[in-house]
Structures are given as structure tokens and as C-alpha cells.
A and B are shown apart, each in its own frame.
Chain A
Amino acid sequence: MIEQLPTAVLGLTVLFGLVAVAARDFLVSILSLSGASVALAVYFFLAGAPIAAVFEAVVAAGLITVLFLFVISLTEADTAERIERGKLTVVGLALGGLLGVGIAVWALLDPVASEAATGTTFAQALWSGRSVDLLAVTILMFVGVLAVVRLTAERLDPVTDTTATQPGDRASGQQEGES
């Protein structure tokens, strides 16, 4: 049973990926992408990479799904309305899924020894072996935050913008009318 689990989880990942690409409904494809991330996190854990599994579950299945839903609710009006109506269901399903994965991981986790050993070797590998990469990722995150703020920000002062453009428009309109 346990031996078959990685195969099943990998198959589930590809299946969710197919649904995410093929579905016409954005909500379905985003939630399928989230499901693929959760299945992939379970595979990471079963393959022996528990910390990568936690990152995959939290960042890819959580954060990126929320970002996609946020963009959809900003841009697609009818989907946004359905998200608004089905909000409780979606949030409940997502939280229930994450809780289920957490309980499964906690139940399957080998107690104490293996986890502590993985934690220390991982920390050593990350901080001594990949310190340049960590620095680069930190800079990248900073640049990314600046880019997102710059790209999604509204104009700083719409009032002055409208007063700056409207008199010119009116003047040109009047001139056209007069001429």
C-alpha cells in the first residue's frame, strides 16, 4: 500500500496538471493547479525531502493560489462574482485540504531522530553551501516586491491627474466648437 503511494501521487499530479491546462473555467484550473502542488508536496515528502515538501505546500499551493485568485477577482468580472459567492466553500475546502495533508504528514512522520538529522544537515547545506544563492534570492524578493508595488499601484493622486487633464480637454473642445 505504502509502496504504491508515490506512483499514485505522481499520477495525481499529472492528472491535476492536465485539468489545469484543459479546463475552460479559470476557477477550476487554478484549484487544479493547487491540487497538483499538494500532490507534489506529498511526493516530495515520500521521496525523502520533507523541507522541500513543506515549502511546496505552503508557497506553491498556498501563496501562488491566493495570488492567482486575487488576479482573477481583479480582472474577470463573472468569475469574481462566483468567487465571492463560493468564498466560504473554497476557503473551507482549501483549509480542509491543507489540514488533511498536515495530519497525514504528521501521522506518517518518523518520530524525532530522522527529522532532527534532516533539519541540521539541511540548514548546514543551505547556509554554508548556498549562501550566495540565498543572498541572490533575498535581492530578487526585494526587487520583486518593488516591481509588484510599482505595477499594481494606482496613480498616486487621481484628483490632480483629472484636474490636470480636464482643463486642456475642455479648452480643446471649446476651440473645436468655436472653430
Chain B
Amino acid sequence: MTALAYGVAVALLVLGLASIVAGRNVVKTLIGVELASKGVLVNFVATDPAGSQGIVVILIVIDAVVVAVLLGVAVAAYRQYGTLDLDALGRLTW
């Protein structure tokens, strides 16, 4: 059971990283961030369900704050440039 949970954690992390690297849109990239953080949470809970609740709750709240700020950045970028396409927006993508 625990091995399966670890496998799911790695799968979610890889899915999130793939979405961050290959995503063409800011919203898709942020969905990747969310999925990667979910993978980390699964890892914590699979290791020690009762003992890790405190850190898991704190991580969920931090994740919500981070995503809220990044979505604010996305809205500000949309107002500035009129698009959320990363190819049109950024010089950091490849």
C-alpha cells in the first residue's frame, strides 16, 4: 500500500513537472505547480499519516498562498500584454 502511495507521489510530481516545462499557457503551468505539490503531500501522508498532519496542513496553506499570488501575477501580465501564452510572453521559455 505504502509503495503504491510512493509511486503515486512520484507520478504526480513528474506530471506536474511535465506540465510546468511543456505547458504553453500560464494557467496550465500553475496547474502543474498544484499537481507537483500534491505529490509532495502524498509522500508526507504515506510516510507518517498521523504525525505529518501539522506539516501537511501548513503546506496546503502555503500552497494556496503561492497559487493565489501567481494567479495575481498572471492577471497583471494579462492586463499588460493581453495574452497568457508563454511563447508570446516570455524570453525564459525554450
Contacts and interface: CB of A to CB of B under 8 A. Distances in A.
A14 B41 contact: no
Contacts of B75: 71, 74-75, 151-152
A58 to B, nearest CB: 9
Contacts, number: 158
A56 B60 contact: yes
B86 interface: no
A141 interface: yes
A122 B53 contact: yes
Contact of A71 (B18, B58, B74): B74
A33 B31 contact: yes
Nearest to A148: B72
B15 A125 contact: no
A18 interface: yes
B38 A64 contact: no
A18 B15 contact: yes
The residue in B4, B11, B27 that gathers the most chain A C-beta atoms within 10 A of its C-beta is B27
A126 interface: yes
Contact of B15 (A21, A30, A144): A21
A21 B53 CA distance: 28
B72 A20 contact: no
A21 B76 contact: no
Contacts of B5: 6, 10, 43, 47
Contacts of B55: 130, 133
B28 A49 contact: no
Chain A interface main SS type: helix
B42 A152 contact: no
A102 interface: no
B61 A43 contact: no
B89 interface: no
B64 interface: yes
A118 interface: yes
Contact of B8 (A14, A59, A70): A14
Interface of A: 6-7, 10-11, 13-14, 17-18, 20-21, 26, 29-30, 33, 36-37, 40, 43-44, 47-49, 51-52, 55-56, 59-60, 63-64, 67-68, 70-72, 74-76, 118, 121-122, 125-126, 129-130, 133-134, 137, 140-141, 144, 147-148, 150-152
Interface of B: 1, 4-5, 8, 11-12, 15-16, 18-19, 25, 27-28, 30-32, 34-35, 38, 41-42, 45-46, 49-58, 60-69, 71-76, 78, 84
